[in-house]
Structure 1
Amino acid sequence: DEQIAVIKHYRDDSLDFPSEEYAVAVESFLIDFNKLGYSESPCKMAAYTLHNLLLFLEMNSLGYHKEIAAVWLEREKTYHEKRGWFQASRTLYLFDIYTREGCIMPQSLNITRALRCETLPDWCLAELDEYLEVKNKEDWAASTIDMIRSSVTRFCEYLADSGLKGFEEIDASVIKGFNLCDYHDTPEGKNAYNVRIRKFLKHLERKNIIPYGLNEALLCTSENRERIVITLTDDEKQSIKEKQDASTASIELRDNAMMLLGLKMGIRSIDIINLKLDDLDWKNQCIRIYQKKTSHEIMLPMPTEVGNAIYLYISNGRANKKTSSRYLFIKNRVPYDALKRSVCRQALKRMLPGRSTPGSGFHVTRRTYATDQLRKGTGKQGLADLLGHRDTTSIKHYLNLDEERMRMCPVSLSDSGLLMKGGRYDRV
């Protein structure tokens, strides 16, 4: 058995940290762990995990070793729910650092998951790894690299399942067969995957592995769709304002500041959670925004209402004395580190719990801001600058909601020379 082999391999090394010393270290760790301010549930799970590991070590005459603890944890996986096992895993992660550094370092635990592409044949994996390395050198974002990996993996899995032994066996019929059976929920989703697979095929063409032009056998087009821009209604904005005025708890103050950054400045959720304390220029009343989407830095004027909300959060809601993090918005419990963008969406849900408009997450605040600015008379270029857009192309979607000025656009049929007679009108 592989697990038994691991234990035998590390048995002698583990005796350098005998179970007696491990027991003392556990009690010291738990005291420091409780001092950090964790809630009752994580504290109980930490004690439960470390004490059970102690029983395992004593029963098998073992000392503590990271690899032996990992084997024990994997064995315990079948007895825990997913969340409980994650907490146990995090406890052992923090304890191992504690044994080496002498202190607990609360931080996010990154669990490495097996990649789907790792099951591909070697001939697929070698070319995929080389292609991804090229994209990494081109400095593409990690999310883009993941999308490329996922797209090409789907294609390679089809090739392997079809019995191919190398990319040189690909022809137009193989590509068309893949395209027919590769199902996606939306045409846009299928198009997004096909575009990336087609670029991979071009990579193979440049290496003379497949004939030049074969990538054109994979269609990469879908019908463009115009979507109606969804914004917050006047009643919803009033409801948000009423909740903001009543904000007192730390999480409410954080929600309030986030919502105003979206509604009054049109800032994206990813840029809100990445704001640092150093980005706030109180003297000149402006905020420096590094836009994740465009990789551009902009300076935006900070409305008084937004500044007041941020100040209240920093003064009364942020755990300033418990963290050295420079992020403006942080978790309101241990560990007090950076947030994920989903927190902005959760803030909107807490502000408007009864709202159930499909396809309308936190980005609705940015759309509402843009629409409100147009209704106030802000020009297209001015709005593009406020939103951090490079041009005014994407502004056209918001123009449709400016009802007052849209009513000025229609031209009478008589002035245009179009008469309501002849054709179908004569048959009425």
Structure 2
Amino acid sequence: MIMVENQDINGAISAIMESMRLQGTSPDRLKNYENAYNVFERYLSKNSIARIDEKICLEYVYAKTGKRFDRFECVTSNARVDYRMRPLLLLLRYLQDGKFHPDVRKTKPSFVCPACFKSEYEAFCEELVYRGYSQATIESNTKKVQWLIMFMATQGITSTSDITIRHIENYLKTIKNKAVKYVGVFLYVFRNFFSFLYERGYIVNDLAPMLPKVRTPHNASIPYVWSKDDIKKLLCAIDREDPKGKRDYAILLIAIRLGLRIGDIRNLKKSSIDWNRKTMNLKMAKTGQPIELPLLKDIGWAIIDYLQNGRPTTISGRLFVRHRAPFNAFGDRNSFNKELHRYILKAGLNMPGGQRHGMHSLRST
């Protein structure tokens, strides 16, 4: 529950709108927020409400959308609901501490491990760090273990020593309709987890060898191989007169020409480029190894065009940033696949089914 002390609602709204203007928020978005706040203030006046809190704001959301929520810290992909909730979340946070919180993207509540599994879960997390896994790999592994733990809790299991192979099989049934490779990754993580539990003495029987095996087709991981003509059409579909288009063109060109993973492209800094030596220097996220790559002519000019004519003013040191206030760096989970898919559609490309054609596929081109 968001606790609210200050009740100068009108003053808070004025401060929020001014902060958004100073951060370069687009006129259209400013208008949307202004309209949302006007409607909310009329609702308060009509219902003679002088003081607000999270409960009152959620009642307003329900009155306007028919959707009921028990808190603001929830995930919704409904644009109509977001139109009501995002401005109110900004308002509540401002009334709470007098600060403008520009990034109010709603996220799932952080994982709280049940006390009966906490010791072994935390030990497993520490083990992954000790093994030198990348942060992305650690997050991927722990997320799957979290889902397993929460499933076991719903089955009345209160200790890892009570987990049987039947319980694990029951969990696997919940993802049986997923791709074979997807299920295989879960099994790989679970083997790691239960081997660790057995070696550390948390469980008496090693369940890892008992886990089912899946046969992954030889071509299951083969990405789509782009033709030169498709690549040309893809790049031509990008509006290079638009600031965001300049960014996207440079990102896709780096992926195509240098074969970098999107995570490494996200992490590029302005200082990663040595213009005198015409090189790009970075540390690979997956291996942790430093690498130097040639700054190819077309990539160099694309980056220059973006820096001079497209990149918004920001304190971020990352080369590529979001083009939406407050213009921060991309999140660690941003795969850029949505942007790529949009350009695929715009280019009129027909991608074959059964083959991956996300950002990773560009590395195979």
Question: Does the alignment reach a TM-score above 0.5?
Answer: yes
**Residue 285 of structure 2 corresponds to residue 292 of structure 1:** yes
Counterpart residue number, 2:11: 24
Offset of 1:263 from its aligned partner? Answer: 2.2
Counterpart residue number, 2:87: 91
- Aligned with residue 44 of structure 1, among 19, 32, 36: 32
Counterpart residue number, 1:147: 140
- Aligned with residue 334 of structure 1, among 304, 325, 328: 325
- Aligned with residue 251 of structure 1, among 238, 244, 251: 244
SS of alignment partner, residue 58 of structure 2? helix
Instruction: Give the counterpart letter for 1:59 in structure 2.
Output: S
Instruction: Give the counterpart letter for 2:57 in structure 1.
Output: L
Contact 1:33 1:43 survives alignment (8 Å): no
Question: Normalising by structure 2, what TM-score?
Answer: 0.75
SS of alignment partner, residue 59 of structure 1? coil
Instruction: Give the counterpart letter for 1:249 in structure 2.
Output: D
Q: Name the CA shift for 1:101/1:327 in 2 (closer, same or farther; >3 Å).
A: farther
The structure, 1 or 2, with the larger RCO (C-alpha pairs under 8 Å, 6+ apart) is 2
* Partner Cα separation in structure 2 for residue 32 and residue 167 of structure 1: 50
The CA RMSD over aligned residues, in Å, is: 3.8
Contact 2:120 2:202 survives alignment (8 Å): no
Instruction: Give the counterpart letter for 1:366 in structure 2.
Output: R
Instruction: Give the counterpart letter for 1:281 in structure 2.
Output: D
Instruction: Give the counterpart letter for 1:151 in structure 2.
Output: K
Contact 2:336 2:359 survives alignment (8 Å): no
Offset of 1:360 from its aligned partner? Answer: 0.9
Q: Name the CA shift for 1:138/1:72 in 2 (closer, same or farther; >3 Å).
A: farther
Structure 2: gaps (5+ residues): 68-77
Q: Name the CA shift for 1:54/1:128 in 2 (closer, same or farther; >3 Å).
A: farther
- Aligned with residue 224 of structure 2, among 230, 241, 248: 230
Contact 2:86 2:104 survives alignment (8 Å): yes
SS of alignment partner, residue 321 of structure 2? coil
SS of alignment partner, residue 347 of structure 2? coil
Richer in helix (by share): 1
Offset of 1:327 from its aligned partner? Answer: 2.0
- Aligned with residue 33 of structure 1, among 2, 12, 20: 20
Counterpart residue number, 1:362: 359
Contact 2:251 2:265 survives alignment (8 Å): yes
SS of alignment partner, residue 74 of structure 1? helix
SS of alignment partner, residue 270 of structure 1? helix
Offset of 1:311 from its aligned partner? Answer: 0.9
* Partner Cα separation in structure 2 for residue 342 and residue 309 of structure 1: 21
Contact 1:50 1:92 survives alignment (8 Å): no
Give runs of aligned pairs for residues 296-335 of structure 1, distance below 5 A: 296-319=289-312, 322-335=313-326
**Residue 53 of structure 2 corresponds to residue 59 of structure 1:** no
Give CA-to-partner distance per residue, 1:22-45, whole Å, 9 cap, x none.
323433443443453423244333
Offset of 1:299 from its aligned partner? Answer: 1.1
- Aligned with residue 55 of structure 2, among 41, 66, 71: 71
Give runs of aligned pairs for residues 195-274 of structure 1, distance below 5 A: 195-220=188-213, 222-223=215-216, 225-226=218-219, 228-240=222-234, 242=236, 247-274=240-267
* Partner Cα separation in structure 2 for residue 282 and residue 74 of structure 1: 53
* Partner Cα separation in structure 2 for residue 25 and residue 190 of structure 1: 49
Counterpart residue number, 1:371: none
Give CA-to-partner distance per residue, 1:161-214, whole Å, 9 cap, x none.
665553333455655666677625233222211222222222332343432434
Instruction: Give the counterpart letter for 2:11 in structure 1.
Output: V
SS of alignment partner, residue 251 of structure 2? helix
Question: Normalising by structure 1, what TM-score?
Answer: 0.66
Aligned residues with identical type, % of pairs: 19
SS of alignment partner, residue 282 of structure 2? strand
Counterpart residue number, 2:275: 282
Offset of 1:283 from its aligned partner? Answer: 0.8
Offset of 1:269 from its aligned partner? Answer: 2.0
Contact 1:277 1:326 survives alignment (8 Å): yes
Counterpart residue number, 2:72: none
* Partner Cα separation in structure 2 for residue 349 and residue 102 of structure 1: 39
Offset of 1:274 from its aligned partner? Answer: 2.2
Instruction: Give the counterpart letter for 1:114 in structure 2.
Output: P
Structure 1: gaps (5+ residues): 369-428
